[in-house]
C-alpha cells in the first residue's frame, strides 16, 4: 500500500486542484463524479484527475488516505475539500469559489 500512498501523495501535493473520480472529465462514469466535473468546468478551474476505476489499489487507497468512504474526492493545494455533496453545497453557497480564490486560483465564473 506504500506505493499507492506515494502516488496519491504526489498527485495531491503537486497539483493545485486534483480530483480522484470514477471515469475521466470527458467521460465521467458516475453521476457524482460528473457533478463535480461540471462544477469545476463551469468555474473554469484548471484541474487534473485520476480514474479510480483503473485500479482497485487506487480506489481503496484513496479512501484510506483521507479516511473518506466515497469517490469523487476533491483536493485543493494539498487539502482535502470533500466529495460530491460537499463540493455541490460549497458551490451553491459561493464558498467553493471563495476557497479557490483564497488558495490563489483563478475562477472564471461565479455561481
* 75 in a known ligand binding site: no
The three-point CA angle 46-47-51 to 5° equals 150
DSSP of 31-98: HHHHHHHHHHHHHT---EEEEGGG-HHHHHHHHHHHT--SS-EEEETTEEEE-HHHHHHHHHHTHHHH
How many Cα atoms are found within 13 Å in the side-chain-facing hemisphere of 29?
Answer: 11
Please state the residue numbers annotated as binding site: 30
- Binding-site residues for [2Fe-2S] cluster sit at 30
Amino acid at each position: 500500500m506504500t506505493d499507492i500512498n506515494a502516488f496519491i501523495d504526489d498527485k495531491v501535493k503537486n497539483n493545485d486542484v486534483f480530483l480522484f473520480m470514477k471515469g475521466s472529465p470527458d467521460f465521467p462514469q458516475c453521476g457524482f463524479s460528473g457533478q463535480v466535473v461540471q462544477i469545476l468546468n463551469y468555474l473554469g478551474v484548471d484541474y487534473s484527475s485520476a480514474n479510480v476505476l483503473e485500479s482497485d489499489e487506487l480506489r481503496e487507497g484513496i479512501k484510506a488516505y483521507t479516511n473518506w468512504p466515497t469517490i469523487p474526492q476533491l483536493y485543493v493545494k494539498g487539502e482535502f475539500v470533500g466529495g460530491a455533496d460537499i463540493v455541490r453545497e460549497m458551490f451553491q453557497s459561493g464558498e467553493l469559489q471563495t476557497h479557490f480564490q483564497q488558495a490563489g486560483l483563478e475562477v472564471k465564473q461565479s455561481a
